[in-house]
Structures are given as C-alpha cells and as structure tokens.
Amino acid sequence: MPRSWIILGMLVVAISAYFYGHRQGQAVVQAEWQAEKAEANAQAALAIKKAQDAAIAAERRQVAQFRTVEAKLIADNRKVQDEKNALLNNIGSGGLRLPSAKGTNNSNGLPEATASTSGSDGETVCQLPTEFVKDLAAESARADQITLQLTACQMILEEERK
C-alpha cells in the first residue's frame, strides 16, 4: 500500500507543479505583454510629440504670415482712407472737374464752368456736385477695402495650402 501513497503524492506534486508553472508562465507572458505595450506607448508618444512639434511650428509660421498679411491690409486700408480724404479735401478747392467736349449738350444737369485755360482746344469743364463726389469717393474706398480684404484672404488661403 505504500506504493499507492507514493503514486498519489507524486500525482499531487505533478498537478501542483503544473498549476504553479502555468501561473508562473502566465505571469511571464503578462510581463512580456506589458513590456511590449510600454514600448509601443513610448513609440506612440514619441510620434505624437513629433507631430505636435511639427503642427506647432506650422501654426507659428502661419501666425507670422497672418500678422504680415494683417499689417499689409491695415496699411493698405489706411492708404485708401488717406486717398479718400485727399479726394474729399479737393472738393472744396474745386479740384474735381469733369472734362467734356466743346458744344456737348448738357442734359445731365451738371453745372458748366467757363472754358478751360489749360487745354489748347478750349474744351468746356463741368464741375461735379459735392454730394456726388462724396458718395463716389465713399463707394470707391469701400470697393478698394473689399478688394484688399479679399486679396488678404487669398494670401492666407495660399499659405494654408502649402
């Protein structure tokens, strides 16, 4: 009978060794997976950092370009406003006149001035009404500002598409 106890003891030791080995193997596999996962996470973090740095550099470059475009737009808008103001200042001095051919029918209701002394052919000069010139100057300035703004938008879009 002692043999059966020895066989039973060996069977218990073998089963225990199997489960112990299984558990240890599982721990080793789990540690390997965690190491692989940590390495993959480190590589992903490095790739993300590189992409973020590239995005930040591109954003800074675009911000610098936008500021340049904005400064140009502001300067151009000031120039347009100055031209408009100069035009409106010329109204009072009688500097805005519309040349017309000699003997033309004045059916538009514009007041005619005397013959021009600057021309050799003696053409008649019509002075434009002040309100009309003010409206014309305001519309011209508005159109110029819209054109400048659209040009600035195009410059920004071209920079973004690079």
**Pairwise CA distance, residues 7 & 15, whole Å:** 12
Which residue type, as a one-letter code, is found at position 99? P
* Percentage of residues in the chain having pLDDT higher than 90: 25
Mean of all residue pLDDT scores within the chain? 81
Residue 98 corresponds to which tokens in the numbers above? 């519309």
pLDDT digits (tens, 9 = 90+) for 48-57: 999 999 999 9
pLDDT of residue 71: 92
> Which of 27-31, 84-88, 144-148 has the weakest average pLDDT?
84-88
Mean pLDDT of 28-43: 94
pLDDT of residue 47: 96
Check: CB of residue 127 under 8 Å from CB of residue 97: yes
pTM summary value: 0.51
pLDDT digits (tens, 9 = 90+) for 117-127: 454 555 566 67
| Domain ranges across the chain | 2-160
